[in-house]
Structure 1
């Protein structure tokens, strides 16, 4: 379980919530909200790790804050392009096999789940 950076409680106006034992004064809604936020952060960290290792986000050769932003956007675009290419390859494979015509409705639902968008 990732505990995050323990040092600061507030960074640029954003509260840092660390996973820890629930307080007695917290009601069920507050507990569930904190738990959901921590799970959400834990879900995004593997993606950031893949961006760093596979899409060259670990080292930035561009200058300044604008260069950092450009580098992150290029890595995110490469990530999304890879997802689209994989989904297109799956679609073309099943179309070539001929199963896409029979179950095109179910396939488009599965394809939209892979891409995380509505078709």
Structure 2
């Protein structure tokens, strides 16, 4: 209910609802603590983690860092998007590496701890080399990777003017924004937006599987386009009447 009040810009009702929820949770928390004093150590140990999370939720403030956003997934972080329609996202940051022309996913790596985008570039490129077996000579990135250089690789950033003196580089730099629809397809079609695997290992596995699924969908889409033409051409060849044999005169 508090989220609905927040969406409707009714902040007084939102604060009132949050205060009421906090009061109810605090009552239940203190009641369980009182009852655990007469229980065995095994029962106390079973409730220990749950009570610690509850106390952490009750004590955290709006401006605190490392807040607990999810009761069951404690590694969830608040990622600032900087967009008007969606200022924040809650989850784990994932770096996506794709080819410049065909948008084929070469790597997808999760980064727990919400690091700066520039600090993840070398790890993303390293994963792409491991999975593809080929090291790229150029990388085209957005403005979030400013101030970062990778050894033995030329980094071109969005809106860059210096050094962009050929038509090929201009065209390739314009293709940098093509990764945005790829991320959208990964979130919606590839279910990257919701992870059901637990822990940091689950986050890493989920990112890799979503990237592989995106590539498989691209291959199947190309096959659906190519196979009808191939089958039509094959049928045309098989049904073509044979030409009359040549008669050789002696």
For the aligned pair, the TM-score class normalised by the smaller chain equals 0.5 to 0.7
Tell me, in whole angstroms, the C-alpha distance in 2 between the residues paired with 1:42 and 1:53: 18
Unaligned ranges ≥5, structure 2: 1-80, 83-114, 122-143, 147-156, 238-250
Q: How big is each residue's C-alpha offset from its partner over 1:32-88, in whole Å with a ceiling of 9 and x where there is no partner?
A: 39x889745422121001110111111111112211111111111111111111222
Shift of 1:11: 4.5
Aligned ranges 1:13-92 → 2 under 5 Å: 16-17=145-146, 28-29=162-163, 32=164, 39=174, 41-92=176-227
Moved more, 10-19 or 75-84: 10-19
1:12 deviation in Å? 2.8
| Larger helix fraction of residues | 1
TM-score, normalised by the number of residues in structure 2: 0.28
Structure 1: gaps spanning 5 or more residues: 103-119
1:16 and 1:87, CA in 2 relative to 1: closer, same or farther beyond 3 A?
closer
TM-score by length of 1: 0.53
Superposed CA deviations along residues 8-43 of structure 1, whole A, max 9, x for unmatched, are: 9874376733867x8xxxx832xx39x889745422
Alpha-carbon displacement from aligned partner over 1:69-118 (angstroms, at most 9, x marks no partner): 1111111111111111122222220122117998xxxxxxxxxxxxxxxx
RMSD: 3.8
- Report the counterpart of residue 229 of structure 2 in structure 1: 94
Name which one, 1 or 2, has greater alpha-carbon Rg.
2
CA gap 1:65/1:36 in 2 versus in 1, 3 angstroms: farther
